[in-house]
Protein backbone atom coordinates (compact mmCIF):
# COMPACT_ATOMS: atom_id res chain seq x y z
CA UNK A 1 0.00 0.00 0.00
CA UNK A 2 1.20 3.49 -0.84
CA UNK A 3 -0.05 6.74 0.60
CA UNK A 4 -0.81 9.54 -1.82
CA UNK A 5 -1.43 13.22 -1.39
CA UNK A 6 -4.32 14.44 -3.52
CA UNK A 7 -4.18 18.21 -3.63
CA UNK A 8 -6.82 20.48 -5.04
CA UNK A 9 -5.56 23.63 -6.71
CA UNK A 10 -7.39 26.90 -6.81
CA UNK A 11 -6.46 29.47 -9.42
CA UNK A 12 -6.50 33.05 -8.25
CA UNK A 13 -8.65 35.31 -10.41
CA UNK A 14 -10.96 32.55 -11.64
CA UNK A 15 -14.64 33.46 -11.22
CA UNK A 16 -15.82 32.68 -7.68
CA UNK A 17 -18.55 30.10 -7.28
CA UNK A 18 -22.10 30.96 -6.38
CA UNK A 19 -23.37 29.92 -2.97
CA UNK A 20 -25.35 27.11 -4.63
CA UNK A 21 -22.30 25.77 -6.43
CA UNK A 22 -20.26 25.87 -3.25
CA UNK A 23 -22.94 24.02 -1.28
CA UNK A 24 -23.21 21.39 -4.00
CA UNK A 25 -19.43 20.87 -4.02
CA UNK A 26 -19.44 20.50 -0.22
CA UNK A 27 -22.14 17.85 -0.44
CA UNK A 28 -20.31 15.97 -3.16
CA UNK A 29 -17.05 16.07 -1.21
CA UNK A 30 -18.83 14.82 1.92
CA UNK A 31 -20.21 11.89 -0.06
CA UNK A 32 -16.79 11.16 -1.54
CA UNK A 33 -15.19 11.29 1.93
CA UNK A 34 -17.75 8.80 3.23
CA UNK A 35 -16.92 6.54 0.30
CA UNK A 36 -13.19 6.78 1.06
CA UNK A 37 -13.79 5.90 4.70
CA UNK A 38 -16.05 2.96 3.85
CA UNK A 39 -13.43 1.60 1.44
CA UNK A 40 -10.61 2.00 3.96
CA UNK A 41 -8.73 4.42 1.70
CA UNK A 42 -9.14 7.43 3.97
CA UNK A 43 -6.20 8.76 5.98
CA UNK A 44 -6.92 12.46 6.37
CA UNK A 45 -8.47 15.36 4.46
CA UNK A 46 -9.27 18.99 4.85
CA UNK A 47 -10.20 22.22 3.11
CA UNK A 48 -8.04 25.30 3.67
CA UNK A 49 -8.83 28.96 4.18
CA UNK A 50 -7.69 31.26 1.34
CA UNK A 51 -3.91 31.64 0.69
CA UNK A 52 -4.01 35.18 2.08
CA UNK A 53 -4.52 33.68 5.54
CA UNK A 54 -1.17 31.86 5.36
CA UNK A 55 2.00 32.81 7.23
CA UNK A 56 5.52 31.64 6.42
CA UNK A 57 8.09 31.21 9.17
CA UNK A 58 11.73 30.45 8.61
CA UNK A 59 14.51 29.87 11.10
CA UNK A 60 17.66 31.41 9.67
CA UNK A 61 20.91 31.44 11.62
CA UNK A 62 18.97 31.17 14.83
CA UNK A 63 16.73 34.07 13.91
CA UNK A 64 13.01 33.73 13.27
CA UNK A 65 11.71 35.31 10.07
CA UNK A 66 7.95 35.66 9.72
CA UNK A 67 6.21 36.80 6.54
CA UNK A 68 2.58 37.26 5.61
CA UNK A 69 1.00 35.29 2.78
CA UNK A 70 1.69 31.98 1.06
CA UNK A 71 5.26 30.80 0.32
CA UNK A 72 4.88 30.26 -3.43
CA UNK A 73 4.24 33.42 -5.40
CA UNK A 74 1.98 31.85 -7.98
CA UNK A 75 -1.65 32.15 -8.95
CA UNK A 76 -2.18 28.45 -8.28
CA UNK A 77 -2.46 27.63 -4.59
CA UNK A 78 -3.58 24.56 -2.68
CA UNK A 79 -7.18 24.87 -1.59
CA UNK A 80 -7.52 21.54 0.15
CA UNK A 81 -6.20 18.02 0.14
CA UNK A 82 -6.73 14.37 0.89
CA UNK A 83 -4.24 11.84 2.13
CA UNK A 84 -5.32 8.44 0.90
CA UNK A 85 -3.92 4.96 0.86
CA UNK A 86 -4.14 2.82 -2.29
CA UNK A 87 -2.62 -0.42 -3.59
CA UNK A 88 -1.03 1.32 -6.61
CA UNK A 89 -1.10 4.43 -8.78
CA UNK A 90 -3.98 3.18 -10.95
CA UNK A 91 -6.17 2.85 -7.87
CA UNK A 92 -5.02 6.28 -6.64
CA UNK A 93 -5.76 7.88 -10.02
CA UNK A 94 -9.23 6.36 -10.06
CA UNK A 95 -9.92 7.90 -6.62
CA UNK A 96 -8.42 11.21 -7.77
CA UNK A 97 -10.81 11.25 -10.72
CA UNK A 98 -13.72 10.94 -8.29
CA UNK A 99 -12.17 13.61 -6.07
CA UNK A 100 -11.89 15.98 -9.03
CA UNK A 101 -15.49 15.35 -9.98
CA UNK A 102 -16.63 15.97 -6.41
CA UNK A 103 -14.73 19.21 -5.79
CA UNK A 104 -14.93 20.49 -9.37
CA UNK A 105 -11.22 21.25 -9.77
CA UNK A 106 -7.98 19.63 -10.95
CA UNK A 107 -6.41 17.21 -8.46
CA UNK A 108 -2.68 16.52 -8.26
CA UNK A 109 -1.63 13.03 -7.15
CA UNK A 110 1.73 12.66 -5.43
CA UNK A 111 3.13 9.65 -3.61
CA UNK A 112 4.44 9.87 -0.06
CA UNK A 113 7.89 8.49 0.68
CA UNK A 114 7.73 5.18 2.44
CA UNK A 115 7.75 5.53 6.19
CA UNK A 116 11.14 4.57 7.53
CA UNK A 117 10.56 1.55 9.74
CA UNK A 118 11.63 0.97 13.28
Positions that interact with another protein (CB under 8 A): 2, 4, 87-90, 92-93, 109-111, 113, 117
CB 40 to another protein: min, Å: 17
Residue-by-residue DSSP string for 48-86: ---GGG-EEEEEETTEEEEEES-SS-SSEEEEEEEEEEE
Q: Closest CB to another protein among 47 and 111?
A: 111
CB 36, CB 95: distance < 8 Å: yes
CB 89 to another protein: min, Å: 5
Q: Closest CB to another protein among 69 and 111?
A: 111
Q: Closest CB to another protein among 65 and 97?
A: 97
Helix (H, G, I), strand (E, B) or coil at 14: coil
Alpha helix segments (H runs only) across 1-66:
19-39
CB 96 to another protein: min, Å: 11
Amino acid sequence: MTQYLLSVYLVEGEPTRTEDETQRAYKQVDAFNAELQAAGSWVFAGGLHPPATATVVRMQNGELLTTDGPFAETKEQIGGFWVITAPDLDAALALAAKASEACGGPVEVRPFQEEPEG
